[in-house]
Amino acid sequence: MLDLKHKIETNPLFKQAFTLSHGGHRADYERLEFLGDRVLGLCIAEMLYRRFPQEQEGALAHRFTDLVREETLAIVARQLDISRFLITKENSLRHNDSILADVCEALIGAVFLNDGFEAARTLITQNWQSIMLSYRQAPKDPKSALQEWTQKHFGQLPVYKLIGRSGPDHAPVFHVEVRAKGHCRVGQGSSKKTAEQAAAKLLWEEFTA
């Protein structure tokens, strides 16, 4: 188990991974996040390839998307208690899923650079394996599920529209509307993509209730 407090206090890479932006400057963690995202993707792809040898590429892709999405990264970040160690003057950011997901990837990047690929893979396996195994069948993200449902029942695709944005630049909240056959729901999230997923989930739940 990583001793994050010790790592951050003694290793500049880990301090960089946990330092958020201030005053409009770029966050220190962003380059490490870029690297960690790629390491995570490779490790998750390998885990899925080995664990589900009978599944086709499409099913593996659904599993992959679910395991590397922002919501899953935020879950892992909370498992690791990342919010406790963030270096920031704005405590509200400690509860922002987008920030937690980004720093989680930055942590993976720091582990990869400092301790090597095997250490990064161990960290990922320990924290993602139980989530991966919780699905007996490949999960479908809300947008895919809604699209399949509306095509089957209405013969048309749902339409998404960005209707607003609120919050400060460093922690924006996007508001997206989805419409299908006269039905409409609005979702919000820390990115346009997550807001679309939230809206799709609400509308899909309405149709299938």
Q: Give the active site residues.
A: 37, 105
Rounded CA separation 104/89 (Å): 19
The closest of 79, 80, 83, 109 to 96, measured between CA atoms, is 83
Rounded CA separation 30/125 (Å): 23
Going from the C-alpha of 32 to that of each of 17, 25, 204, the distances in angstroms are 6, 16, 36
Question: In whole angstroms, what separates CA 157 from the centre of its chain?
Answer: 25
